[in-house]
Amino acid sequence: MEKNMNEKESLELITRMIDNTRKGMEKNAALPMLIFGYTSIVTTLAVWFAVTKTENYMFHLLWIAIPVIGWLLYGLLGRARTRRGGISQSHMGSLIGRIWIFLAGVMMLCMVPAFMLRGFPASFIMTLLAAIGVSCTGLLVRYAPLVICGILGVLTSFVLLWVTGIASMVVLAAAFAVMMVLPGHILHHAANKKSE
Amino acid sequence: MLNQLDPLLHSELRLAVMSVLIALEEADFVYLQEKTGASSGNLSIQLDKLQNAGYIEIEKTYKGKKPRTVCRITQKGVEAFRAYVEALKGYLDV
């Protein structure tokens, strides 16, 4: 069934549909930040707690939980969401996705010297890379809270050049909270407010 | 002299589909149905019309064992949409 509209209705429809699509994109963008943010905080605190209590540095292998649990949760929650609302991919979303895949690859690569070289500033480099990713995402989508939280992450990463050893885990957890969880909640709250 | 509105786009459901696709790289059938609130049958018919006009391309794939229909706007579709919006602005004097 085709329904023709007048010119004003057409323009209103275009505006409404584009707005609705953007709102959906904002809500989708918050999900990976919250999942990976909380997974990173829990993993960091788990490593800190385990190493502090046992002094067994093998517990650093727990870091692998961030990509494994993160992707698992993202896959499960994402699948439940797409089953209801279908799948879409924005141009910006795929560009940001490629940037994060590249950054995640570099972070994984940094794990190798972190285990082999004593004094390698892994926490600093990883936090700096993640903070650059958050800032770039904010600049691309032109969302100020993301840019600001990314810059705060960059500044926090430099603290990790002085705070080293197991104590750096606490700073790292704080950095994940500022860089990912905080902007994730701001984004989610903003998207919910717009849909009301 | 006002430009004539593209009759293919001057229909509620087809315009809704094009407005969603213009903001995205691709969207599947379920997503378009959820965004437009259209029935499966009606949406299929309108997607076919847009595809026949060369405004969108449709790819039939599988996600696991489930069939999936993915839609993307073409360059011709982008140009037609832009021309339509420009014509609308002319009519509304905005």
Helices of type H across A55-121 = 65-85, 91-116
Q: To probe the interface with A, which of B30, B32, B42 has the most A CB atoms within 10 Å?
A: B30
Task: List, as one string, the DSSP characters of A21-73.
Answer: HHHHHHHHHHHHHHHHHHHHHHHHHHHHHHHHHH--GGGGGGGGHHHHHHHHH
The B residues from 31 to 50 touching A (CB cutoff 8 Å) are 31-36, 42, 46
A10 contact B CB<8A: yes
Q: How much is the average pLDDT of A139-164?
A: 91
Residue B17 identity (one-letter amino acid)? V
CB contact under 8 A, A90 and B25: yes
A82 or A133, greater pLDDT: A133
Question: Where do the structural domains in chain B lie, given as residue ranges?
Answer: 12-89
**Chain B positions in Cβ-Cβ contact with residue A3 (cut-off 8 Å):** 11-13
Mean pLDDT of chain A, nearest integer: 86
Q: With bands split at pLDDT 50, 70 and 90, how would you rate the model's confidence at A174?
A: very high
pLDDT of res. A59: 87
CB contact under 8 A, A91 and B25: yes
A115 lies in which domain range?
Answer: 9-195
Listed range (A9-13, A157-161, B89-93) with the worst mean pLDDT: B89-93
B17 within 8 A of B47, measured Cβ to Cβ:
yes
Tell me how far apart the alpha carbons of residues A128 and A136 are, in angstroms, rounded to a whole number. 12
pLDDT of res. B21: 95
- Termini Cα distance of chain B: 15
B61 contact A CB<8A: no
Q: B61 has which bridge partners?
A: B68
Nearest to B30 among A7, A86, A94 (CB): A86
Tell me how far apart the alpha carbons of residues B27 and B88 are, in angstroms, rounded to a whole number. 25
pLDDT of res. A1: 54
Nearest to A89 among B11, B14, B25 (CB): B25
How many domains is chain A built from? 1
Q: With bands split at pLDDT 50, 70 and 90, how would you rate the model's confidence at A77?
A: confident
Q: How much is the average pLDDT of A137-152?
A: 90
> Of 2.60.40.680, 3.30.70.270, 3.30.505.50, 1.10.10.10, which CATH number belongs to B12-89?
1.10.10.10
Q: How much is the average pLDDT of B78-89?
A: 92
Tell me how far apart the alpha carbons of residues A70 and A65 are, in angstroms, rounded to a whole number. 7
A136 within 8 A of A142, measured Cβ to Cβ:
no
Looking at the domain assignment, is residue A1 inside a domain?
Answer: no
Taking the mean position of all CA atoms in its chain, how far away is CA A144?
15
Looking at the domain assignment, is residue A111 inside a domain?
Answer: yes
Helices of type H across chain B = 12-22, 29-36, 40-52, 75-92
Percent of chain A with pLDDT over 90: 38
Report phi then psi at A86, rounded to 5: 80, 180
Residue B4 identity (one-letter amino acid)? Q
Looking at the domain assignment, is residue A80 inside a domain?
Answer: yes
CA nearest to B29 within chain A = A86
| Cα dihedral: A71, A73, A74, A78 (round 10) | 140
Residue A79 identity (one-letter amino acid)? R
Q: How much is the average pLDDT of B53-75?
A: 92
Does ipTM come in above 0.95? no
Percent of chain B with pLDDT over 70: 96
pLDDT of res. A110: 87
